[in-house]
């Protein structure tokens, strides 16, 4: 489990593009989202991730890099988790997310058909789930 300090370090590393790519894990995506939602004020996650990817050598294309539908759904899940536990340490909120369905990196496939989720349109823009509503 990550500590609040480690979560802040991940978020700052994402923002200043110093986070080593091997540390940009599934859990780190949620950690950064939670930190930004609680501390970041108004932010553009799409731009933050695209810029980080570009700075660390990950191309943002129609088949790799930034994925808008997954990011949008993940932010919604993180926002709901924070709303459910507004005063909890971020480490506890993150642990709760990782213990649930969002803890699996393939969690979006419970909501979208594979061909829908990995389509160019879902990568570029929001495409609603076509299997099961998100529920948060």
pTM metric for this prediction:
0.95
- Read off the pLDDT of each residue in 11-40 and give the average, rounded to a whole number: 97
Give the mean pLDDT of 121-125: 98
Structure confidence at residue 40 (pLDDT): 85
pLDDT of residue 132: 97
Q: In Å, how far from its chain's centre is CA 14?
A: 12
The mean pLDDT value for 74-79 works out to 98
Among 11-20, 38-47, 50-59, where is mean pLDDT lowest?
38-47
* pLDDT for position 41: 82
For 86, phi then psi, to 5°, come to -65, -25
> 84-117: per-residue pLDDT in tens?
999 999 999 999 999 999 999 999 999 999 999 9
| Start-end of H helices in 1-136 | 4-15, 26-39, 45-55, 68-84, 90-99, 114-117, 120-124
CB 130 within 8 A of CB 113: yes
Q: So what's the pLDDT on residue 57?
A: 97
Residue 136 above 90 pLDDT?
Answer: no
The pLDDT of residue 56 is above 90: yes
């Amino acid at each position: 489990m990550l500590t609040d300090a480690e979560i802040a370090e991940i978020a700052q590393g994402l923002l200043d593009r110093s986070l080593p790519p091997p540390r940009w894990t599934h859990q780190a995506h949620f950690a950064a989202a939670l930190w930004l939602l609680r501390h970041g004020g108004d932010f553009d996650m799409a731009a933050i991730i695209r810029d980080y990817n570009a700075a660390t050598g990950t191309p943002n294309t129609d088949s790799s890099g930034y994925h808008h539908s997954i990011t949008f759904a993940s932010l919604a899940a993180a926002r709901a988790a924070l709303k459910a536990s507004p005063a909890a340490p971020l480490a506890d909120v993150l642990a709760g997310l990782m213990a649930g369905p969002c803890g699996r990196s393939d969690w979006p496939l419970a909501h979208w058909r594979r061909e829908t989720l990995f389509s160019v349109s879902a990568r570029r823009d929001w495409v609603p789930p076509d299997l099961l509503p998100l529920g948060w």
